[in-house]
């Protein structure tokens, strides 16, 4: 299987502007530094994001502002190609609009990602693992894995390790106790599931430069102590995406139309048992 060290064209698939920087920024810098051609496929323009105080929203609205931030950050990160899929940011909670990432039928989201893959022709796809609990991140992870299967291109998950996420949640509770992330339960990928670690410490300062270009947004690292900032931003953690098993081979009594594949537990679960309020569940 092709991995991050072997690929020559890598497509990063994300949900919102800033995911490419807050999530995979150091990986993109590392790949560009090693001569890899990179692209970013972003599903939405982040219309549901709160805008930091003091930032002026242009006539085109929040979406136009955040798209411009994405393109500026992508340039700094050495990204050669950026494509937006024209879906709408679903937000963290509440009813998802029908044209949003989570509200749009899964087959349509996958089709748009698949079209982006066909245009960029990567030999590797990277997407966020969705273990921060954001429903749009989960949705785009599932679409990226499905598109990778369709094109026979390996997909790797960019992981948030559970030990760091626990420390992050503790820090978040101290300065933002009402954050919706604190209501999502256990966050992060179990550390033992991370198979690949890349030292990206040399890009630490440039990563912060890219983060600063998303000036309308408050980064998740901003209020952290320096040691925790460095723990997040100087090592990239990845693993190959576990592919869905055939329900019949696992003695599951239902099928792909009535069940869903849970990427965190790597098993089929029944749709009627799914808690629709749980954003960590693949929809």
What is the chain's pLDDT, residue by residue, as a tens digit (283 residues)? 677 878 999 999 999 999 999 999 999 999 999 999 999 999 999 999 999 999 999 999 999 999 999 999 999 999 999 999 999 999 988 999 999 999 999 999 999 999 999 999 999 999 999 999 899 999 999 999 999 999 999 999 999 999 999 888 888 787 778 777 766 678 899 999 999 999 999 999 999 999 999 999 999 999 899 999 999 999 999 999 986 654 444 444 444 444 555 555 555 555 444 334 343 333 3
Residues 23 and 111 in one domain: yes
Q: What is the DSSP string of 95-146?
A: PPPTTBTTTS-HHHHHHHHHHHHHHH--SEEEEE--TT--HHHHHHHHHHHH
Residues 106 and 149 in one domain: yes
Residues 131 and 269 in one domain: no
pLDDT at 171: 83
The reply to whether 94 falls in a domain is yes
Residues 110 and 172 in one domain: yes
Q: What is the CATH number of the domain that holds 50?
A: 3.40.50.10320
The reply to whether 90 falls in a domain is yes
* Tally of domains within the chain: 2
The reply to whether 237 falls in a domain is yes
For the beta carbon of residue 207, count every other beta carbon within 10 angstroms: 25
Residues 271 and 204 in one domain: no
Domain that holds residue 260: 245-283
The reply to whether 4 falls in a domain is no
Nearest residue to 16 via CA among 101, 131, 98, 103: 101
pLDDT at 283: 32
The reply to whether 1 falls in a domain is no
The reply to whether 36 falls in a domain is yes
Residues 116 and 255 in one domain: no
pLDDT at 244: 62
Residues 36 and 171 in one domain: yes
């Amino acid at each position: 299987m092709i991995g991050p060290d072997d690929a020559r064209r890598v497509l990063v698939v994300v949900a919102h502007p800033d995911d490419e920087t807050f999530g995979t920024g150091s990986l993109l810098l590392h790949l560009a530094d090693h001569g890899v051609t990179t692209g970013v496929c972003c599903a939405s323009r982040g219309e549901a994001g709160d805008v930091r105080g003091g930032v002026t929203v242009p006539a085109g609205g929040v979406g136009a502002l955040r798209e411009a931030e994405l393109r500026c950050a992508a340039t700094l990160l050495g990204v050669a190609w950026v494509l937006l899929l024209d879906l709408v940011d679903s937000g963290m909670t509440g009813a998802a609009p029908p044209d949003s990432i989570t509200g749009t039928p899964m087959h349509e989201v996958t089709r748009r990602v698949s079209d982006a893959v066909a245009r960029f022709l990567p030999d590797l796809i990277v997407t966020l693992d969705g273990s921060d609990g954001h429903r749009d991140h989960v949705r785009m992870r599932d679409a990226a894995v499905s598109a990778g299967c369709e094109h026979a291109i390996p997909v790797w998950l960019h992981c948030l390790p559970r030990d760091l996420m626990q420390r992050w949640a503790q820090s978040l509770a101290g300065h933002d106790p009402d954050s919706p992330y604190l209501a999502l339960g256990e966050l992060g990928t179990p550390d033992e599931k991370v198979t690949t670690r890349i030292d990206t410490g040399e890009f630490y300062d440039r990563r912060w430069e890219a983060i600063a270009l998303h000036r309308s947004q408050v980064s998740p690292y901003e209020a952290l102590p320096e040691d925790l900032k460095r723990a997040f931003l100087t090592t990239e953690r990845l693993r190959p995406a576990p592919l869905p098993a055939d329900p019949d081979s696992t003695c599951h009594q239902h099928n792909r139309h009535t069940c869903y594949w849970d990427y965190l537990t790597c098993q089929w679960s029944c749709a009627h048992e799914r808690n629709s309020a749980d954003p960590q569940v693949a929809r």
